[in-house]
Structure 1
Amino acid sequence: MTKINLKYALYISLSVFALGACSPKPTHKLEAATNLKKLGINEDNLYSIDSLLGSALINNWIAGTTALIAKNEQVVYYKGLGFRDRDNKLLIRPTDLFRIASMTKPIVSVAAMQLIEEGKLKLDDPVSKYIPQFQNMQVLETFNKADTTYTTVPANKEITIKNLLTHTSGIGYGFSNKKLGAIYKKNGIPDITVTYKLKLDSVIQKLGTLPLAVQPDSEFFYGLNTDVLGRVIEVVENKPLDSILQKKIFDPLEMKSTFFFLPAQQKSRLSTLYSETKEGRLIRTPAIQNGYAIDYATSGAQTYLSGGSGLISNIDDYAKFLQMILNKGSYGGKTILKPETVDLMSSNHTGELKVENKPNHFGLGLEITTEEGAKNGAKVGKLSWSGMFGTTFWIDPERKAIAILMTQVYPSVHKKELYNKFEALVNKALDEAPKKK
């Protein structure tokens, strides 16, 4: 049984009251719902979400969280609970910022799809067309742990832009494969954004000279694919990735709180990252955790634009992005993608390959829920992904809904349990109509 930290229970209760019961209206263009009954939502079920998140706070699963749920373009839940900085007793606000890590990937994937629409990029283009180092790729065959030497065999095909979008290139992450991890470390390949001076072009060029973990198209192998894709986008546009995203996505959607590196005036809005211990404690994450530089957005060289993990954002901005996808590419009068492009992204491009040991499919930058993979009341066709520091989202086309939960805990013992319970309660709230009196 998790030990409850009573020291913070009162502060958490006050934050639930102050920021939950009287939720401020969202600052984005999604309208705040004025009549839950007309949307078929029982308000009591939304209070159950409060209870879940409040329990997570009290039981030291998280220090603070923000959450947003919208149905039919109306926001039905929009709250910040707990602390932005628990040590200094600073309550969180719904507009506060989070390291979204791999939730960066769908945004960069959309930027790539924009270039495909413009005819500047093709799904079947070889990556080597834009980054020559990816010609004649090799696949790891044997590995000597003692000195990190290895042997390889030739890749059976060139990896393509589609391989990058579907994580079927064979490129991995160092944290998920010990052999690749040792090779990447020896060659200065980071998994996520760093605080020391490093440039995306040199890292990706070096990555192109290193072996793949598996043959292209042989399996879903999660890795640095979207970082490579980010560099391809830079080459095509001849501009840095941050300025491309700003012009093509952030400005049109009015995503004013999404950054690779935080301006000085925004630093106080960043939620503190905590680590959950097996003993049931929540401790402030050190500057370096498991080899990752936690303060990459607020300190250091701020030169590495990681398309796979580098963005800071909040529920307001990310909701605009998700609603755009749900709306088939448009939001607030601005068209980001064509409807047929969103349909293409939302289609199965991995066949029968399992996505991270789940029976789901993967589209172009998004996981797609199958009938076998539908859990917690999820519908077939749900689009989703998450970030390693405690953020998750999904788009529910059947319910015409989006949901976002942002926390900052790494490592997290109870993340999966929290996500599952949150999703189940959200779907219950969306499905269970108010009782007739």
Structure 2
Amino acid sequence: MSQSIDKAFEEAVASGLLPGFSLLAGDKDGNLLYSKSLGSATKKPGRDLPFTDDTICLIASMTKLMTSVAALQCIEDGTLELDKDVRPLLPQMGKYGVITGFDEDKNEATLVPDSTPITLRMLLSHTSGQEYDWLGPLLGKWRVSRNEELWSGPTIEDKSAIPLVFTPGTGFAYGAGHDWAAKLIQIASGKSLEDFMHARIWVPLGIENDASFWPKTKETMRDRTADLSMLGEDGKLLDASAVDLMFGATDCIGGGGVFASAKAYYTFLSAVLRRDPKLLTPSSYTELFRPQLDERCEQALNDYIALSPLHTNYLGLRVPPSVRKTWSFAGLVAKEGQEGRFEPGATLWAGAASTLWFIDHEAGICGTAFCQFLPPLHPPVVALLEQFQRGVFEEAKKRASQH
């Protein structure tokens, strides 16, 4: 098994598809099933940085799992509630109502006022009506009509105080729910999300020197931080260290702003797989992993993934359309198994810089793959990430049969 993963990823580095990577996987008993790092963490001229499991990488949307854990910690503290309307605390969120169309002649959007309650539960399960403006064509037109850039600016309000795309609670769209949830955590705790996660997640797990929203400000992380690389038009790898995937954010972006090492994220992921009491109570873990979508929203999710090649690539993660999907606070849930890859109920999610995590509850395994590569979730790279998942699953099955 390990040889098939080794071969695929070594070839990816040798062929110039990836500059480097770090992979880690293990089981719920704390046994490491697979570990390998190879290649370089930069294409920046004059900089030499080998890719290791200590290399600090932008984890992008893999931040969402940490933010969900932090939100559930606030619920345990009694400072937030899952089903209370949070609009009064976040007056900018959804203030434009719901966008239902766009008049090309007038260059203006059709907006319908909406005051439906929005809850933390909706924010964490993508049913609040928020959608990223770079995913939603109508939102893109709305931005252009206002001479605004997509998802840019320093604050969550700049990036995500945009029209909703459906009445809250009635559909599914992938958007800034976790960014707004981050604001709620900050309001509830009186701390920045950085300080909250530092105290409640990173220090308890011993990864406080390996995770931050602001690695460039930390002496322990600055020199270990990878640079993004990207595929040029000629198919060759280029330095993309000037690209800012946070687009000028000065707020802690709960949906995508954490930087961490593969080892640190794996430490966090395996704690979540084991349901480590350092982070959450048993009932909170049940809530974290429980599918949150009713029948209508679940159908909306499956339709949404099939909506366009862009949606399928970003949100489908090569899980076949025949496998019914739902959503938990943790991430995408496969309701059925996929032969040779995962059992029913497996949970997984990825990040724009080509990072992936998975938890297979039934097989009792988890894994994470780190690359720092653009374009986001490039299909050949996503195929490699699937191969990693399959190899780990095969190894777990093999070991289980020997006991």
- TM-score bracket, shorter-length normalisation: 0.7 to 0.9
Q: Could you say which structure has the larger radius of gyration? A: 1
| Structure-2 residue corresponding to 1:31 | none
CA deviations over 1:367-418 (Å, ceiling 9, x no partner): 22211x6355211121211101110011121222111100011103412211
State how 1:214-225 maps to structure 2 within 5 Å.
214-225=166-177
| Structure-2 residue corresponding to 1:349 | 292
| Structure-1 residue corresponding to 2:389 | 423
Residue 38 of structure 2 is aligned to residue 81 of structure 1: yes
TM-score, length basis structure 1? 0.78
> Are 1:56 and 1:62, in contact at CA under 8 Å, matched by a contact in 2?
yes
State how 1:30-429 maps to structure 2 within 5 Å.
45-71=1-27, 72-86=29-43, 88=47, 90-134=49-93, 138-145=97-104, 148-155=107-114, 157-184=116-143, 186=146, 191=151, 198-200=154-156, 202-203=157-158, 207=161, 210-255=162-207, 256-262=209-215, 263-265=217-219, 266-277=221-232, 279-285=234-240, 287-288=242-243, 293-294=244-245, 303-330=250-277, 335-352=278-295, 353=298, 354-355=301-302, 356-357=305-306, 359-371=324-336, 374=338, 376-411=340-375, 412-429=378-395
Letter matched to residue 366 of structure 2:
I
Cα distance, 1:239 vs structure 2: 2.0
> Are 2:102 and 2:141, in contact at CA under 8 Å, matched by a contact in 1?
no
> Are 1:253 and 1:321, in contact at CA under 8 Å, matched by a contact in 2?
yes
Q: 1:434 to 1:171 in 2, by over 3 A?
A: closer
Cα distance, 1:130 vs structure 2: 1.7
Report the aligned-residue RMSD: 2.6
Cα distance, 1:277 vs structure 2: 4.2
Letter matched to residue 257 of structure 1:
D
Letter matched to residue 236 of structure 1:
A
For residues 77 and 174 of structure 2, the distance between their equivalents in structure 1, rounded to whole angstroms, comes to 28
Q: 1:157 to 1:376 in 2, by over 3 A?
A: farther
> Are 1:82 and 1:92, in contact at CA under 8 Å, matched by a contact in 2?
yes
Cα distance, 1:157 vs structure 2: 2.5
For residues 396 and 160 of structure 1, the distance between their equivalents in structure 2, rounded to whole angstroms, comes to 28
> Are 2:227 and 2:241, in contact at CA under 8 Å, matched by a contact in 1?
no
Letter matched to residue 191 of structure 1:
W
For residues 150 and 190 of structure 2, the distance between their equivalents in structure 1, rounded to whole angstroms, comes to 23
Which segment drifts farther, 388-397 or 128-137?
A: 128-137
> Are 2:60 and 2:258, in contact at CA under 8 Å, matched by a contact in 1?
yes
Which segment drifts farther, 397-406 or 263-272?
A: 263-272
Cα distance, 1:260 vs structure 2: 0.6
> Are 1:189 and 1:203, in contact at CA under 8 Å, matched by a contact in 2?
no
For residues 433 and 267 of structure 1, the distance between their equivalents in structure 2, rounded to whole angstroms, comes to 39
3-state SS of the aligned residue for 2:290? coil
Identity level (%): 25
For residues 66 and 416 of structure 1, the distance between their equivalents in structure 2, rounded to whole angstroms, comes to 15
Letter matched to residue 161 of structure 1:
L
Q: Which runs of 5+ in 1 are unaligned?
A: 1-44
Cα distance, 1:285 vs structure 2: 1.9
Letter matched to residue 311 of structure 1:
V
> Are 1:127 and 1:134, in contact at CA under 8 Å, matched by a contact in 2?
no
Cα distance, 1:224 vs structure 2: 0.9
> Are 1:156 and 1:216, in contact at CA under 8 Å, matched by a contact in 2?
no
Which segment drifts farther, 426-435 or 104-113?
A: 426-435
TM-score, length basis structure 2? 0.84
> Are 1:115 and 1:121, in contact at CA under 8 Å, matched by a contact in 2?
yes
Cα distance, 1:240 vs structure 2: 1.6
Q: 1:312 to 1:61 in 2, by over 3 A?
A: same
Letter matched to residue 245 of structure 1:
M
User: How many pairs were matched up?
Assistant: 371
For residues 409 and 137 of structure 1, the distance between their equivalents in structure 2, rounded to whole angstroms, comes to 35
> Are 2:340 and 2:390, in contact at CA under 8 Å, matched by a contact in 1?
yes
For residues 181 and 414 of structure 1, the distance between their equivalents in structure 2, rounded to whole angstroms, comes to 27
CA deviations over 1:139-170 (Å, ceiling 9, x no partner): 11221357652122233722211110100111
CA deviations over 1:207-253 (Å, ceiling 9, x no partner): 1xx32012222322000111111011111112222111111111111
Q: 1:375 to 1:117 in 2, by over 3 A?
A: farther
For residues 219 and 164 of structure 1, the distance between their equivalents in structure 2, rounded to whole angstroms, comes to 12
